[in-house]
Chains A and B, each alone.
Chain A
């Protein structure tokens, strides 16, 4: 029967599981995000570098194609921690721009349209809402970061064989863990700016500026006080320092991986507090 003839009747069928309900917000958000041409374009552009890296892996594993090249050069182009660190730097940059582009549309529209009471009057807590929004951005950025990173790793394993895997399995783990750490910081910054600024463009600019400003501040502290600990105030530097340890490459001069992890933990905590303060169904004016 046509819907307009049927009339409204209360739903009395079975209900979905909690997990299915949790994924409702991410599903709708991803659909909306990938309807934006700019987001889609940037996502596609982000695959260019992984494709080039895949070509590089193919070449290094086919010695016959590299015959006649210098021995030192052949040693230089090995697939190792340095290779994956270069891959990660480039993809991390794409992730920053993608987060700045997509992040502001996460919470800002719900706040400006006062939609939070509608969400929170359903079986959805503040934390599950925040986690769902976090899933949206982490899921989206995963597509251009650790997922292609892991594919490249597996590609290398496939070409180089099981011995290479046994000697370098930590690289695969480092790519996933390292990227997830970066995505967590990026996503929380994007969510916090989206929660505080209702205008999308401004929110996007703020999430970009966050990294540039802190990088500038940390460099200034280092220069003025002639120290190196100022670097821990720069989350991008701190993440890079952790990556170096995970991938086993030479770290930059400055505080160690533990200090960097601690500073990142403080950043994450502060960002969570900032978001927690804003995600309320009603605002109490004191």
Chain B
């Protein structure tokens, strides 16, 4: 008989107040599956409640109502046990300045329950892994911002946790360091089998490393999507701007297997299914006697989803076109 999969995060009508202000308004969801080595992204604009949710999951904030479970353990009652299975990388600078990176990591590993010798070995290993091997005997206060970010990641994984919680991991990193950070996060889940919970407001980061994404707005979940499936569908998006009579374009799009919505003034958002190339749009515009002023082609699905969730976009192309047609 198979065992029931344990979700990485399980929320039941979770409400959290900071002072008198309610930040999270009764969130209910199940994210990820424990032990699968997948990443869940928490997306949302500043002030959406992402960090509050993470702090609640870590047991730093108490829910005013409802329940939060992490790796199947209650965030109020079993946090002691849960914390030995979690690694946390905070958003802000967090370290002990007068310690060398090795000593700091060794102490953190020992606090998580590793014996001193194993803690020292892991501290060295993980510092080489994140690219701080050469500077591991330097005091942390002498590190650059990017190095401190890597040191924070290193302390989060030094004890080999089942779940790593990363709060804005690429904040303030230059493009090369950002790529390296995302590569490390991908390795963590793919090579080490760790579950990862990434909190970010950067869509590209989430899209690159996550398999599942939750979008928060004003303390509530406004969208929950499976990015793996989105990627598998291999749809691509086109932003089109045309001059001419484009009234027939909506009905013509299905001819090439595409869907789209008009945003007015000749602007269109079109979704192309797998196998249909952008050249088909050019040909269609020619057939419709339309002059193409702008055509942007990309495979960035999350931005569409995010904009729709935030209310900046009324429909996600491909999802609502049929509905609009039926209305007309």
- Given the known interface contacts A3-B125, A14-B115, the answer about A122 and B58 at a Cβ–Cβ threshold of 8 Å is no
- Given the known interface contacts A118-B90, A120-B60, A122-B83, the answer about A24 and B111 at a Cβ–Cβ threshold of 8 Å is yes
- The distance from the CB of A181 to the nearest CB of chain B, in whole angstroms, is 30
- Given the known interface contacts A24-B107, A118-B95, A122-B108, the answer about A4 and B128 at a Cβ–Cβ threshold of 8 Å is yes
- The distance from the CB of B274 to the nearest CB of chain A, in whole angstroms, is 36
B110–A16 contact, CB under 8 A?
Answer: yes
Closest to A281 in B: B60
A110–B129 contact, CB under 8 A?
Answer: no
Q: How large is the interface on A (under 10, 10 to 19, 20 to 34, 35 or more residues)?
A: 35 or more
A280 to B58, CA, bound (A): 13
Closest to B85 in A: A123
- Given the known interface contacts A122-B108, A282-B61, the answer about A7 and B94 at a Cβ–Cβ threshold of 8 Å is no
A21–B18 contact, CB under 8 A?
Answer: no
A277 at the interface (CB under 8 A from B): no
Most buried by A among B86, B128, B194: B128
- Given the known interface contacts A10-B194, A11-B159, A118-B155, the answer about A16 and B129 at a Cβ–Cβ threshold of 8 Å is no
Residue among B19, B107, B114, B126 making CB contact with A16, cutoff 8 Å: B114
B80–A113 contact, CB under 8 A?
Answer: no
B124 at the interface (CB under 8 A from A): yes
A32 at the interface (CB under 8 A from B): yes
A8 to B126, CA, bound (A): 6
Contacts of A4 in B (CB 8 A): 128, 133
B307 at the interface (CB under 8 A from A): no
Contacts of A118 in B (CB 8 A): 88, 90, 94-95, 108, 155
A165 at the interface (CB under 8 A from B): no
A9–B94 contact, CB under 8 A?
Answer: no
Contacts of A112 in B (CB 8 A): 97
B111–A122 contact, CB under 8 A?
Answer: yes
Closest to B96 in A: A115
Most buried by A among B113, B122, B133, B160: B113
A9–B125 contact, CB under 8 A?
Answer: yes
- Given the known interface contacts A109-B97, A117-B60, the answer about A284 and B18 at a Cβ–Cβ threshold of 8 Å is yes
Contacts of A119 in B (CB 8 A): 111
Contacts of A197 in B (CB 8 A): none
B84–A15 contact, CB under 8 A?
Answer: yes
Contacts of A61 in B (CB 8 A): none
B279 at the interface (CB under 8 A from A): no
From 103 to 136 in chain A, residues with beta carbon under 8 angstroms from any chain B beta carbon are: 109-110, 112-115, 117-125
Residue among B18, B60, B61, B118 making CB contact with A11, cutoff 8 Å: B118
A8–B128 contact, CB under 8 A?
Answer: yes
Q: How large is the interface on B (under 10, 10 to 19, 20 to 34, 35 or more residues)?
A: 35 or more
B256 at the interface (CB under 8 A from A): no
B115–A16 contact, CB under 8 A?
Answer: yes
B121 at the interface (CB under 8 A from A): yes
- Given the known interface contacts A10-B192, A113-B93, A118-B90, the answer about A15 and B113 at a Cβ–Cβ threshold of 8 Å is yes
Contacts of A113 in B (CB 8 A): 93-97
A117 to B167, CA, bound (A): 12
B283 at the interface (CB under 8 A from A): no
B322 at the interface (CB under 8 A from A): no
- The distance from the CB of A5 to the nearest CB of chain B, in whole angstroms, is 9
Query: Could you mark each residue 254-286 of chain A with 1 if its beta carbon is under 8 Å from any beta carbon of chain B, else 0?
Result: 000000000000000000000000001110111
A28 to B193, CA, bound (A): 32
Contacts of B93 in A (CB 8 A): 113-114
B111–A11 contact, CB under 8 A?
Answer: no
A147 at the interface (CB under 8 A from B): no
A117–B97 contact, CB under 8 A?
Answer: no
A4 to B135, CA, bound (A): 13
B112 at the interface (CB under 8 A from A): yes
A6 to B157, CA, bound (A): 16
A282–B83 contact, CB under 8 A?
Answer: no
A166 to B155, CA, bound (A): 55
A13–B111 contact, CB under 8 A?
Answer: no
B46 at the interface (CB under 8 A from A): no
Closest to A110 in B: B96
A65 at the interface (CB under 8 A from B): no
B98 at the interface (CB under 8 A from A): yes
- Given the known interface contacts A11-B114, A122-B108, the answer about A114 and B128 at a Cβ–Cβ threshold of 8 Å is no
A120 to B86, CA, bound (A): 11
- Given the known interface contacts A3-B128, A117-B88, the answer about A123 and B61 at a Cβ–Cβ threshold of 8 Å is no
Contacts of A28 in B (CB 8 A): 103, 107
B243 at the interface (CB under 8 A from A): no
A24 to B61, CA, bound (A): 25
B92 at the interface (CB under 8 A from A): yes
Residue among A3, A117, A123 making CB contact with B94, cutoff 8 Å: A117
A21–B110 contact, CB under 8 A?
Answer: yes
A12 to B114, CA, bound (A): 10
- Given the known interface contacts A11-B159, A113-B97, A284-B18, the answer about A121 and B126 at a Cβ–Cβ threshold of 8 Å is no
26 pairs of residues in contact across A and B, judged by CB atoms under 8 Å: A3-B121, A3-B125, A3-B128, A4-B133, A7-B125, A8-B125, A13-B114, A14-B115, A15-B112, A16-B110, A21-B113, A25-B107, A112-B97, A113-B93, A113-B94, A118-B95, A119-B111, A121-B83, A121-B86, A121-B90, A122-B111, A122-B112, A281-B60, A282-B61, A284-B19, A285-B19
Residues of B participating in the A interface, judged by any CB pair closer than 8 Å: 18-20, 55, 58-61, 80-81, 83-84, 86-88, 90, 92-98, 103, 107-115, 118, 121-122, 124-126, 128-129, 133, 155, 157, 159-160, 165, 192-194
The 8 closest A-B pairs by CB, nearest first: A10-B160, A15-B113, A8-B129, A121-B88, A11-B160, A286-B19, A281-B60, A3-B124
